Structure 1
């Protein structure tokens, strides 16, 4: 059967990406939806982008934009390297591009330019890196940075999950707009878990690959998921964003 698989934040961990795609036995007729943050962390950020470009030429792929992708895009475009980016994985990304020619850099910039802010599928499922704030949905979002940075959607979902089922009628409008919402951005490690988390209508697929967690891929229909090894073990001489 054709599957739709969603993949969490990669953060330069190409070895983890290859491993988890192999473990999920990804086929050419599977659709892959990536939730963003392809760069910043482990040493192979540029190599991750090259791999994803090649992968998208072989099968259906949808790529969301993360906040780290925005930083890398700006750096490739105009050389801007803010201190906050360099301190949060940007320095390893810049290093990964050191010996790449301008043709490759332009190709990667085109990749970043074409990333989607969000995607809504035919079954009314939303895919976005972080979240959105508008009660009318992402199409009515007044601040596009929320797609990259918002954590209130996830925090609201967690709050509602802790409430009694008797309070379902009080569910915030944002959580009722979509059948399901798939996000990254907030590592499940923050909640002492290294597996995907589910709260209300939201699935969080960022299982901490940038730090001491794993990279995860999930079948959005069956909710079966596969994981890489702890990414730090795949890069034993590096620290990632730890």
Structure 2
């Protein structure tokens, strides 16, 4: 049995199915999704439906991303105007729901039940973006940091990997957990299309929303698998830019 972490998907159902096949995912695997299921490519509604059905077959843990919040708000009120969301993939998500036969109420429940973060039995934290509280995300004052914070990753990526965890130089926020897994900030910003490590923080968002690939990592072995670049899977679409 493996624990596999999946990066930001952004409506790329084809990529998820492809990388599941390459990783030989089975019903015995625990799957932890880091959020941003929607907005970008054309299959957001289809992806959400697939995840709902997948959750009935095996253990899945779904973290909430910032794009998921936007989509949830729209599903609750179709007249809600959010120009920022519309420009950042919302247009494609709305189009994916047009004339769909899915039960909207079921999708609303899916988004409502997404977790802000998850900590496993080995004290590994899984969160979409990050947190700023020195006492951990459970003490976060600004809950939006779960889905928007980039300071945790920015701090981790510049740290010297030689610094020991018991050192005074090791950031206190990062001492709270054995490992932290995040998405939200595409590794493409750092000229990388594979998962990146900054001391004990692993960034699994390899740019599936843009020109990158979707990634899955085995958190025990650190072996990872990737889809083809999303633009090649959705050749007739531009995706988010």
Common fold: TM-score over 0.5: yes
Match of 1:107 in 2: 106
How far residue 166 of structure 1 moved from its aligned partner, in angstroms, is 7.6
What SS is found at the alignment partner of 2:138? helix
Say whether the 8 Å CA contact 2:33–2:63 is kept in structure 1: yes
Match of 1:169 in 2: 168
1:61-210 correspondence to structure 2 within 5 Å: 61-79=60-78, 80-101=80-101, 104-161=103-160, 165=163, 168-210=167-209
Q: Deviating runs (4+, > 3 A) in structure 1? A: 164-168
Mapped to 1, the partners of 2:135 and 2:114 lie a distance apart of: 23
How far residue 169 of structure 1 moved from its aligned partner, in angstroms, is 2.5
What SS is found at the alignment partner of 2:202? strand
Report the aligned-residue RMSD: 1.3
Mapped to 2, the partners of 1:107 and 1:120 lie a distance apart of: 26
How far residue 100 of structure 1 moved from its aligned partner, in angstroms, is 2.3
Say whether the 8 Å CA contact 2:10–2:44 is kept in structure 1: yes
How far residue 171 of structure 1 moved from its aligned partner, in angstroms, is 1.3
Say whether the 8 Å CA contact 2:164–2:170 is kept in structure 1: no
* Larger helix proportion of the pair: 1
Mapped to 1, the partners of 2:21 and 2:160 lie a distance apart of: 33
TM-score by length of 1: 0.96
What SS is found at the alignment partner of 1:93? helix
User: Any unmatched runs of 5+ in structure 2?
Assistant: none
User: Any unmatched runs of 5+ in structure 1?
Assistant: none
How far residue 81 of structure 1 moved from its aligned partner, in angstroms, is 3.4
Mapped to 2, the partners of 1:135 and 1:43 lie a distance apart of: 39
Mapped to 1, the partners of 2:160 and 2:177 lie a distance apart of: 16
CA gap 1:223/1:96 in 2 versus in 1, 3 angstroms: same
How far residue 161 of structure 1 moved from its aligned partner, in angstroms, is 3.2
Query: Deviations for 1:55-111, whole angstroms, at most 9, x for unmatched residues?
Result: 10000000000000000000001222310000000000000000125x611110110
